[in-house]
Amino acid sequence: MNMRLLFCGLAIWLVATVGLRVAGQRLLHPGNWKVTLILFAVSFPLMGWVVRRLCKRFQLPREEWLGGALSVALPTLLLDPFSSAFFPVVFPNMAPEMAGVFGGWMLWCCAGALVGVSMRGAKQL
């Protein structure tokens, strides 16, 4: 477990959670499947890119990148199940039926982070 990356993951989670609490209703709409697909399509590679950049920034050896990605994703994996379970309380500005989309989106982001650091030869990321 890389503590610096864990704190980066916690900071990312906190900023994203506050952002969704303030303006999430503009991003997650019931019945707007096209926006949801675009959100998922953008989030997966973006999280892969962000985590690769963090691993490089903190000069982690390549063989430790997967652990680094886990460190970044851990706050989301531990805290967002509660955000989903208590969605109307945590995100009162969003429709309660979006809790499942939110939970899936968070898993998709974590998967993007893990896949992003697992790709060999993706030097352009």
What's the chain's length in residues?
125
Half-sphere exposure in the Cβ direction for 106 (13 Å, CA): 24
Per-residue model confidence as pLDDT tens digits over 63-116: 999 999 999 999 999 999 999 999 999 999 999 999 999 999 999 999 999 999
Per-residue model confidence as pLDDT tens digits over 35-67: 999 999 999 999 999 999 999 999 999 999 999
Residue from 94, 108, 110, 103 nearest 32 by CA: 94
pLDDT grade for 29, boundaries at 50, 70 and 90? confident
Domain ranges within the chain, ordered by starting residue: 3-23+33-118
